[in-house]
Copies of this chain bind each other. A is one copy, B any other.
Amino acid sequence: MINRKLILSKRPIGIPKEDTWNLVEEELPDLKEGEILIENHYVSLDPAMRGWMNETRSYIKPIAIGDVMRAGTIGKVVDVKGKTIFKKGDFLSGWGGVQTHLISRGEGHYPIHAKKNNLPIYIGSLGMPGMTAYFGILEVGRIKKGDVVLISGAAGAVGSLVGQIAKIKGCKVIGIVGGEKKADYIVNELGFDGAIDYKKENVVKDIKRECPDGIDVYFDNVGGKILDNALIFLRMNARVVICGAISQYNNVKVEGPNNYLSLLVNRATMKGMVVFDYAHKYKDAMKEISKWIDQGKIISKEDIYYGIENFYQTFLRLFSGEKLGKLVLKIKK
């Protein structure tokens, strides 16, 4: 059995170049007692992956040079040996990495009970992005009915869910996006109350227009200037959820929020979150998000590209913004 795997070959500085990774083939050994062979079908592409490539102290170990590129995956058990915790034919979600196959004892994987045509949702709205959105806006953002919620990266996997959950909870929801198509999408398809196109408009002026009384919760996926602009509009006791900073991940020097003293003036809170802290409650969140999807209250969108050999070009879409919803690489034909 041949495994095609994407190896991290060097630490990138700035935007990763193509030679950051190497696609190599290896012959997998025979299964040992208790092992399963997983065939990966879908690879999750997430902004956080850029952070894992840096050799800096973070919430998770850096990917080592020479290791398979870490990624969330949906795979299928295609072979087993002896007594195993999963059986042949099972679909699994887990940390399979950017590779076509892996041998495992099942660690870091859990079974999904999915129809074949909705598999990618398990790395989207029912996967890490879904969990991040759910716990980020509910537990860190602590939204309540009537709150004005502003979201950056609002057409992305996390942002689009954050906004829809906030709408369900009775908030006024404004999204910041790049491009007219995304602005149209979040308002007309997802039901946001307003959109700000940062590529076209003056973000400060537009937040003022869309949120004339200020904001109670700012959910930040992008960092940089947009975070700084949003801080101007904090209301008393506002909450700022620091979920990500995609505008900064490829910068050698991160740009901090100069308007942070708005936290003082408005007795506001800025809090960072990492979704793994909520692992013990994922099941409940998945159940509730599933219910909302079934009820038509949440639209879950995946933007799917094909071929492990196209990892690099697809990965760059995270930073160029050329995608809509959850970015997925399908690596099984």
Contacts and interface: CB of A to CB of B under 8 A. Distances in A.
Interface string A246-279: 0010000111111111111111111111100100
Contacts of A263: 242, 270-272
A228 to B, nearest CB: 7
A264 B244 contact: yes
Given A242-B261, A258-B255, A271 B269 contact: yes
Nearest to A249: B261
Contacts of A324: none
Contacts of A177: none
A57 interface: yes
Contact of A274 (B248, B267, B273): B267
Given A228-B256, A256-B256, A266 B261 contact: no
A4 to B, nearest CB: 32
A261 B272 contact: yes
Interface residues of A, number: 33
A272 B277 contact: no
A286 B59 CA distance: 41
A270 B265 contact: no
A270 to B, nearest CB: 4
A325 B271 CA distance: 32
Nearest to A243: B264
B256 A259 contact: yes
Contact of A272 (B59, B228, B264): B264
A267 B259 contact: no
A274 to B, nearest CB: 6
Contact of A265 (B260, B261, B272): B272
30 contacts: A58-B265, A59-B264, A59-B265, A59-B266, A59-B267, A223-B261, A242-B263, A245-B261, A248-B261, A253-B258, A254-B260, A256-B256, A256-B259, A256-B260, A257-B257, A260-B260, A260-B270, A261-B272, A263-B270, A263-B271, A264-B272, A264-B273, A267-B272, A267-B273, A268-B271, A269-B270, A269-B271, A269-B272, A270-B270, A270-B271
List the 10 closest A-B pairs by CB distance, nearest first. A264-B272, A263-B272, A256-B258, A256-B256, A270-B270, A256-B257, A269-B271, A242-B264, A256-B260, A59-B265
